[in-house]
Structures are given as C-alpha cells and as structure tokens.
Structure 1
Amino acid sequence: MKQVTLGATGLRISPLVYGTLPLGPLQAQLAPEAGGRLIRHALEAGVSMLDTAELYDTYGHIKAGLNGYRGDVCIATKTHANDGKTARLHVEKALRELGRDCMDIVLLHGARIADPFTERAEVLETLLHMKEQGLIRHVGLSSHYICAVKKAAGFPEIELIHPLINRTGMGILDGSAKEMAVAIAECSLAGKGVYAMKALAGGNLIGEARASFRYVLGLEGVRAVAVGMLSEEEIDGNVALFSGQSLDESVWQELESRRRRLVIMERFCKGCGFCVPACTNNALEVTEGKAKVNEDDCILCGYCAASCPEFMIRVV
C-alpha cells in the first residue's frame, strides 16, 4: 500500500489506519489472540498505523498482532483523562502494556469537549511534558467539535488532528460536514497531520461504504482514515479500495449489506443513567427506569458500554 505523510510530523503511514475499538470489550469482545490475528493480517496487507485508546482496552490485541512482526508500525493512543495525573497514568499504561519505550502519537481525547485547550489544559501540559521526556513523539487532538478543530489550527503544540467527519455530518456536535471540512483544511494548512474517524458514522453508512470512504479521502487535508474491521474480508476489501485496486463487486455487495446496532439488555438495566452523559451524540435517555437508544442518532462508538456498571450495553 502507498504511504502518505501526516502533516509536518514526518510520519509516513498507510492511508488506511486500523481502528481497534471494535475488537475489544466495547463491541465484539474478541480475545486478544483473535484480534491480534486480524491486526497481523492487516499489517501484512500493508496497513502501517494502528489507532487505539485507553477506553478501548485493546493493547493486548495490538501486542498479540505485533508479536514477531518486523515491519514499521505507527501506534496512536488517546487519553480521556480530566487531569494531568490521570493522563500520565494512561500513557504509562500504554507504554507498559504495549512493551514500548515511547508512544508514536498520544491524542487528547476530547470528543464532547468544545474547548479542550481550556477545559483540559492540564492534560495537554502533561502530554507535552511527557513529549519533552521522550515518552511521546507527537501530541494531537481527537474531537467531534468543529470549534475545537478550528482552534487547534492555531496551536503549534498540536501536531495531529483526529476529527469526526462523514458525508452526512452524523456525530458532529456543532455544525455540518461542510463546516468540519473547512476546519480540517485550516488545520492541514497549518501543518497538522489529519487522519479522520467515523467515515461510516459508526456503521450507519456501511451500505454506501465505498462512496463514504471516497468522500472523506477526497477532502482537503485528510491524509488517512481510521476504520474498524472485524474480518479478513473487510480488511482485504478496504486495503483494495484505499490502494485504488478493484475488488469483485459481489464481495463489496456482501460487505455493504452488513449492519450493526446498539443493544441494551433492558431486562437487566437498572436505569442508573451513567450511559446518558457518556454518549457522544445524545442518542440515549432513561425512560420508565430503563436506558433507551435512538438508533437514528446513534453512531455506534460504544462509549456508553464502557460507562455501564452492569455491562448491559453492546454493539453487535
């Protein structure tokens, strides 16, 4: 697969980034060995960047996939910490569980934070200090907010942007896809490396996957897209698409016919409501003592599952 450069970082990666969220307990609950086999398949097919986060609990999957692999791999992780001390613990855990001395990329994970530079200033300061210590190579921001992405363009400390963008604008919290595209272009012009998330809106646009990927890849400044993949067929199809190769139409028809949804096991739901503020797209509410999902608004990120103390929420 061809390589692209992420802004001024100098990092050379594949345009297809393996998003590992679906492998872990928030979604498919694959064992590390099973997830590792999929990651290894992608690496051997030419994928050279893996995207994870403290929330995803997929470090074991990545380590299994990398075991014995000799190629170059860039790994990006994220911290959702509210304070510097917790952010440091998150990064140290990533280093320890991945067996690394330095993380390639650490993103301030501010999906629902309109101004992370104010609300998470301590976290950013900690990440930059860890960069000075040689524990992080590059610091960036992940966000669902246009205003946060626009503000990042003026912060030289932020080297990478991981924005939510798709054809419909689903999941963007303060505007349209067109407006987010403008903010992304501004960041790119400022030298930020941009790799996008939620090009399929968490699976809601899977029926038009090829058109949806091409839309995001065609945006000014977008160099790569993180994609969650749960089968070798998905990996092979996406590698072919991102490489400009043809793939049998029947294969794509099968891939685009797959559907996922959020399931709440209402019988066991206690109605605590912890999932409601965890939802990045305001798709949940507690009604008559039970959590309910509005499937039209759900982007299938799975963050609500991580907040459920009874483990009663799954993306299937």
Structure 2
Amino acid sequence: MRKIKLGLLGPEVSEICFGSLAVSPLQGRVSMSEGTEVLRYAVASGIDWVDTAEIYDNYEQIAPVLKENHHVRVVSKSYAVTAEQMDKSIEKARRALGRDMIDFFLLHEQESGLTLKGHAEAWDALRKAKEKGIVNYIGISTHAVRGVRDGALQPGLDIIHPLINYAGLGIIDGTLAEMLAALNFASSLGIGIYAMKVFGGGHLGTDPVKALRFIQKLPTVQAMALGMSSKAEIDYNLMVLAGKEPCPELARSISTIKRKLYIADWCQGCGQCVEKCSQKALYLKKNIAEVIRERCILCGYCGRSCPHFCLKIV
C-alpha cells in the first residue's frame, strides 16, 4: 500500500482511507458485524485510516477494530453549529471510539464562507479542542467549489475532504474545471486533501479503473476515501491503485454491484428528505418522494432525515 503525506503538515497515511458510510446503518448494505469484518480486512490489507461521521451512527461498529489496531487513525465529522454542540460531538466520538484523541475532526458538508460563518462557534470549539490535544487535525468536508475555496482560508484549517470525480458528478455549485482550480488553490496553501465520491455515487461504476486512476493522478489530491462493503471491493481497488490488472472474475464481481435509492411505499410526503438533499435529487410528486437517479450520489443522508424510515440505499 502506497503511503502519502497529507498536506504540508499532515501525517503519513495510506493512499486509501476506508469510507465507512458504505458499511454503516445509514446505507444498510451489510450488518453491523459484517461491516466490522470488512474493516478488519481493510486494515489487514494495509489501509490505516477510517472515515466516519456522527450521522453515520457506526462508532460502535468501528471501535473494536480501533481497539485492536492502535496505529489506525480515525476521521469523524459533525454538523454542530454551536460550541456546546461541537464539544458534545467530540466527546461522543472519543468515548464511543475509545480514543483519548481523535486524529481528524471535520465540520460536515460546508458549502461556502456563509455556512462556515454560521458554524463559527463550532469552528472555534474545534480549534480549542486541537489546542487541548483531544483533536489532532481539523477541517471540513464539502460538495462545493466555494466550500473548498472558502474553507482553504479558514483560520487553522488542516484538511479538506471534497467531492471530486472525473465527471464532476455531485458538485453543487460549479464545474469540474472550477473544482480542480479550487483544489489547486487549497493545495498551494499546504492543506491536506482527500477525495470523496470518486465513483460518483455509483454512476461511474462502469469504469472504476478510470475513476480511481483519475484521482490518483491529480497532483493536488493526496488520498481518497473509498466506500467498500466487501472484501472483493477492497482487493479490486488495491490492485488497481497498485497498477495491477484485476483478474476477470474479480472485475466481474465488482461490475455487477448496482446500488439505488429505495423509497418505501409508506412515504408520508413530509418533504424533510427533499430539504436535506444537497444534490436536489429528491422532489415530491402527489405527496410522495421521488428521486432523479442521475442526480443522486447515494450518500444516504436523506434516510437519516426521514421520520418514517422510508429511504434506504439497496
């Protein structure tokens, strides 16, 4: 497994970060225990950091692997707005993950300087947590060009976790070229950058080699978080990034995995999922939620907002 340095001042980590959303209850692809085993396999294969978030509700799933492997670093994220909320989010992660110090803690889904301003108290709490040594590196995750550009200027920011793929799918406020320019700007400031949604929420799954190697060749992006819910996916991704040709059987097993957002027929039409979706992939039709599949990036965040448990990635 190739090691990279995450930004100018960041640590050395594996090129792949294990994206635990794919094994979390939020997506429901596998059981909690099955997800733990997939993560164990990833760590045994050389992946030495894992990405999670408070909203994923899977600290319990990750904690056993972290206990067994003290060298594995962890990223978490929070939507906290106030200092009190952020303090609670950090303490929840420390307690549930069994770590005195969280390696990386990010503000979740920041869209621009305006959203960062709205989370100013939470950001100050993050900076204080870093000063106290209970968080090591701080940053943001974002689906937006402005999120990258404005985030790069945020005082004390170490890490940006942006949405980036070769088709520009999922960027909410600009083009692929604009996102690449923003990443170049952030990288020039020494900020560590690791990509998300490399496969465009599954829409780029017909050519996973192209998707992986596009990110690998970007000079401004050091690493990538890959959502993997099976050992076969781990094997495949590691082989491609090592420059090897996966065997036909393995390639076929990966290519047959198709995901979609399922909306149950008991939908009440409350519209909370529509409000939550940053991709504008959901809308109401005759008081029932509908999805525009080409816009959906299969993040699963809409499911968490549904009070009737109608939405799920299958």
Query: Could you tell me the TM-score, scaled by structure 2's length?
Result: 0.96
Indicate if the aligned counterparts of 1:114 and 1:145 stay in contact, CA closer than 8 A.
Answer: no
* Stretches of 4+ aligned residues off by more than 4 angstroms: 111-114
Q: 1:145 to 1:195 in 2, by over 3 A?
A: same
Moved more, 115-124 or 54-63: 115-124
Q: Residue type matched to 1:256 in 2?
A: S
Q: Residue type matched to 1:272 in 2?
A: C
SS of residue paired to 2:122: helix
Indicate if the aligned counterparts of 1:50 and 1:75 stay in contact, CA closer than 8 A.
Answer: yes
Quote the Cα distance in structure 2 between the aligned partners of 1:50 and 1:23.
Answer: 12
Quote the Cα distance in structure 2 between the aligned partners of 1:276 and 1:158.
Answer: 31
Query: Do structure 1's residue 22 and structure 2's residue 16 form an aligned pair?
Result: no
Shift of 1:244: 2.5
Q: Residue type matched to 1:294 in 2?
A: I
Shift of 1:245: 2.9
Quote the Cα distance in structure 1 between the aligned partners of 2:238 and 2:93.
Answer: 27
Alignment of 1:125-204 (within 5 A): 125-204=124-203
Shift of 1:133: 1.5
Q: Residue type matched to 2:303 in 1?
A: A
SS of residue paired to 1:161: strand
Over the matched positions of the two proteins, sequence identity in percent amounts to: 36
Shift of 1:257: 3.0
Shift of 1:272: 0.7
Query: Could you tell me the TM-score, scaled by structure 1's length?
Result: 0.95
SS of residue paired to 1:238: helix
Structure 1 counterpart of 2:248: 249
Q: How many residues align?
A: 314
Moved more, 118-127 or 242-251: 242-251
Q: 1:304 to 1:112 in 2, by over 3 A?
A: farther
Structure 2 counterpart of 1:54: 54
User: What do you get for the CA RMSD once the two structures are aligned?
Assistant: 1.5
Q: Residue type matched to 1:315 in 2?
A: I
Shift of 1:83: 2.0
Gaps of 5+ in 2: none
Shift of 1:66: 3.0
Shift of 1:279: 0.8
Indicate if the aligned counterparts of 1:161 and 1:192 stay in contact, CA closer than 8 A.
Answer: yes
Structure 2 counterpart of 1:285: 283
Quote the Cα distance in structure 2 between the aligned partners of 1:152 and 1:285.
Answer: 30
Indicate if the aligned counterparts of 1:184 and 1:220 stay in contact, CA closer than 8 A.
Answer: no
Q: Once the two structures are superposed, what CA deviation does each residue of 1:95-142 show, in whole Å capped at 9, x if it has no partner? A: 000000010000111244563331211111111111111110010111
Q: Residue type matched to 1:180 in 2?
A: M
Query: Do structure 1's residue 44 and structure 2's residue 44 form an aligned pair?
Result: yes
Quote the Cα distance in structure 2 between the aligned partners of 1:60 and 1:156.
Answer: 32
Quote the Cα distance in structure 2 between the aligned partners of 1:105 and 1:165.
Answer: 20
Indicate if the aligned counterparts of 1:33 and 1:64 stay in contact, CA closer than 8 A.
Answer: no
Shift of 1:75: 0.6
